Amino acid sequence: MADYESVICVKSEVFVYRIPPRTSTRGYRASDWNLASPDWTGRLRITAKGKECFLKLEDKTNGELFAQCPVDTFPGTAIECVLDSSRYFVLKIVDISGKHAFIGMGFGDRGDAFDMNVSLQDHFKWVHTSDKLKEEEKKLASQPSKDYSLKQGQTITIKLGDKKPAPSAHVKPSTGGFLPPPPGGSGIPVLTAPPAGPTVASQQGGALLDPFGSTAFGSTQPAGSHSQAQGGSDWGDFTSSTSGSGSNDWVKF
């Protein structure tokens, strides 16, 4: 499958300078160039095709190619930073015949220079990862494949551990909101009668008196002696309301 060309960065304005020969091995300095009067102004387009990467200087209006810089590594000899600025670089441009020359290139904003650096770093990071994956694939392909199939007569024995039944959950019966009965009881509450004794009468002279002043209820006299003394009647003799003094008192018992 043929690789296609992709655009990884575009900057609308760059400045190109003719630079003097290098005077020392330390590097280039942008202050030695005539920065106020660039020799050419155009746009920068960075393209990638497979592992190859190109910096293309093109005309702003018609897109005509002015020069291109093939980049094989970054940082490297194809793009070199100057010593005194982060916005200017030295490019190694190559024509169709293979001849090369060094020119100066710069940006008006540091952000544009930063974007160019990041785009190149990302591309070559991808190239490094791709090469590493291909090497691993070659190693795996060169190793003999292992046969994990069972040979004739071979068997597999699987031993399963003894499974114990899960303990059944004990559900307590509902008591309807009441506490369970105490041990040994029937569960039915028993009401105990209060002790017997006088509630209304008062005690006097060893006998309980009637609150109306009649004969004592609790007298030591044998039962039935009073009725026998009154002629054997259970209620005794009634005195007429007209007898006696003739007063209008109530019937006396």
Helices (H) and strands (E) in the chain, counts: 2, 9
The helix, strand and coil proportions of the chain, stated in percent and rounded to the nearest 5, come to 15, 25, 60
Contact at 8 Å (CB) between 67 and 75? no
How confident is the model at residue 137, as a pLDDT?
72
Rounded CA separation 48/129 (Å): 16
Question: Tokens 């018992």 label which residue?
Answer: 253
Residue range 5-140, CATH number: 2.30.29.30
How confident is the model at residue 184, as a pLDDT?
58
pTM score: 0.53
Could you tell me the mean pLDDT of each successive run of 10 residues in the chain, 253 residues long?
Answer: 82 94 83 93 94 93 93 89 94 92 95 94 90 74 74 80 64 57 58 57 48 49 48 51 50 48
5-17, strands of its sheet edge to edge: 65-71, 52-58, 40-49, 5-17, 100-106, 88-94, 79-81
How confident is the model at residue 40, as a pLDDT?
95
Three-class DSSP category at 135: helix
Pairing of strands 65-71, 79-81: unpaired
Rounded CA separation 210/218 (Å): 9
Question: Tokens 């002790």 label which residue?
Answer: 195
How confident is the model at residue 39, as a pLDDT?
95
Rounded CA separation 41/101 (Å): 18
DSSP designation for 199: S
How confident is the model at residue 253, as a pLDDT?
44
